[in-house]
Structure 1
Amino acid sequence: MSAAPDVAPVSSDLLLLEQHGATLVITINRPEVKNAVNLALAIEIAAAMDHLDSRPDLTVGVLTGAGSTFCAGMDLKAFLAGERPSLPGRGFAGLVEQPPAKPLIAAVEGYALAGGFEIALACDLVIASRTAVFGLPEVKRSLVAAGGGLLRLPARIPYHLAMEWALTGRLVPAEEAHDARLVSRITEPGEALAQALELAGTIAENGPLAVRATKQILSSARDWPSNEAFDRQREISEPVRSSADAREGATAFRERRTPVWRGR
């Protein structure tokens, strides 16, 4: 389990923020509607992602949901009233088209459905309880999973399996998602957040510049032409190699001590 959280930076009725060392925990706080996303919540999530990226003392984020559900997707009542919970340039939930530059871990309990599944897919790692359930049921309502689900799912699991999940709209138990390698780690019920914090803590022990650059390369490289890949990687990795933190890492190794990162 993690240590007691630091003082929360900024929270609201819709979104709770807590800082645990270099980890920011972001909790969607609409349990009365299974954490469904309306426009106000999308604006808050976008602001939280900006907060994560802008704070030099934060290295990684954990996104979870209050109560027994991660996120049931779009708030359909708001949708029927003419509201769309998307932001220009950021997409659904203020996140799916522009995830943070820093690593983001989804800690999933209960349902991660439709847009909720797309939020999880926008994260870099997924920790899920054994009782969690995933799915893209949009086709059952004559909708399209256009919040990144159809774009990201085939990159996470085998193509034909992604096609089956998306075309049938069926619910996928956490164990099956774990077997498909969509879920990084599976936990006992109620332990997803604790496991995500443990993983985040391990990541946060590393150099923050290197962590951010590593995510950038891993998430971007699939779109690079093969003859440009090393040059593009070099543009990202060389500033880290020449940083004060890189020198601190080598010095700490030589002196057999824990490095003190400055983020520069």
Structure 2
Amino acid sequence: MSAGSVATEPVLTEVVDGVLVVTINRPEARNAINTSTAEAMGAAMDRLDSDPSLTAGIITGAGGTFCAGMDLKAFLAGERPSIPGRGFAGIVEQPSAKPLIAAIEGYALAGGFEIALACDMIVAAEDVKLGLPEVKRGLVAAGGGLMRLPQRVPYHLAMEWALTGAMITAEQAHQVSLVNRLTPKGGALEAALELGRAIAANGPLAVRASKQVIVEAPEWGRAEMFDKQREITLPVRESEDAREGATAFKEKRAPAGRGAERSERSGGTFPG
């Protein structure tokens, strides 16, 4: 593919050390989401879910900004920036089953913030601005932001941000643990890659199952929660990955194979 054709792709993907880096590539439109971008993002999520060599994903934006939300010009022209099954931007209703990190520079507003909230971790440059300004336009943030934000920050703060449409600084978001890591301007992707590599160094089956438990556990009743957890974790415990991980721990060596469990190897006992 020529350099000119690559530049026109709405979403770019690159594999780095077992991490799929997904870049929204519409800088001329502040990476706003139209139909083709949503379709490409959905395809990237499908790839991440189906490729056993990939353990985690990063969502970022080209040109120094993350995403300004829905492309209003495309919307007024009749486009719908969502796809069946995955929703807006190909991600907000069904993110990848594998861990996702948002690497944010510039702005993540409206649907752009909702994409970030669909991720499991957020790394942001210190000058980043976040927010759900829909109410200022007489609209409702219906891409998951109103449901996910109260799960990530205190209830009263989520209400204030959602009902005022306030612009949130990266520092404010970091103070309430909405942002995992703050970086200097231009450093979000590299810091996200550092975090992604740390995840990808672990057993892929264990990583995926751990995310599933964390995501699904709030919906489980007290009487059933350990049975539900066992359904997810027992296949991992009985896998070749787990056996190799335990053996490698005992022999004080790195586990062999892509899917091997990793653990601390400096003394102690292997966690059961």
Q: Shorter-chain TM-score: which interval?
A: over 0.9
Q: TM-score, normalised by structure 2?
A: 0.92
Tell me the secondary structure at the aligned position of residue 225 of structure 1. Answer: coil
Q: Percent identity?
A: 66
Code of the residue aligned with 1:85 in structure 2: it is P
Alignment: residue pair count: 255
Give me the whole-angstrom Cα distance separating, in 2, the residues matched to 1:70 and 1:142: 23
Give me the whole-angstrom Cα distance separating, in 1, the residues matched to 2:18 and 2:42: 19
Give me the whole-angstrom Cα distance separating, in 2, the residues matched to 1:39 and 1:143: 20
Give me the whole-angstrom Cα distance separating, in 1, the residues matched to 2:78 and 2:189: 34
Tell me the secondary structure at the aligned position of residue 58 of structure 2. Answer: strand
Note the aligned Cα RMSD (angstroms). 1.3
Tell me the secondary structure at the aligned position of residue 242 of structure 2. Answer: helix
Code of the residue aligned with 1:201 in structure 2: it is R
Aligned match for 2:195, one of 194, 199, 212: 199
Aligned match for 2:82, one of 86, 91, 108: 86
Once the two structures are superposed, what CA deviation does each residue of 1:171-219 show, in whole Å capped at 9, x if it has no partner? 1000000011100011111000000000100111100000000000001
Question: Runs of 5+ in structure 2 lacking a partner?
Answer: 1-5, 261-272
Tell me the secondary structure at the aligned position of residue 112 of structure 1. Answer: strand
Aligned match for 2:161, one of 145, 162, 165: 165
Task: Map 1:81-230; keep pairs closer than 5 Å.
Answer: 81-230=77-226
Task: Tell me whether 1:75 sits opposite 2:71 in the alignment.
Answer: yes
Q: How far does residue 86 in structure 1 lie from its aligned partner after superposition?
A: 1.1
Tell me the secondary structure at the aligned position of residue 107 of structure 1. Answer: strand
> Does structure 2 conserve the Cα–Cα contact (< 8 Å) formed by 1:127 and 1:195?
yes
- 1:251 corresponds to: 247
> Does structure 2 conserve the Cα–Cα contact (< 8 Å) formed by 1:11 and 1:17?
no
Give me the whole-angstrom Cα distance separating, in 2, the residues matched to 1:79 and 1:17: 25
- 1:62 corresponds to: 58
Q: Larger Cα Rg: Structure 1 or Structure 2?
A: 2
Code of the residue aligned with 2:116 in structure 1: it is A
Give me the whole-angstrom Cα distance separating, in 1, the residues matched to 2:257 and 2:122: 26
Q: TM-score, normalised by structure 1?
A: 0.94
Give me the whole-angstrom Cα distance separating, in 2, the residues matched to 1:176 and 1:185: 12
Tell me the secondary structure at the aligned position of residue 253 of structure 1. Answer: helix
- 1:53 corresponds to: 49
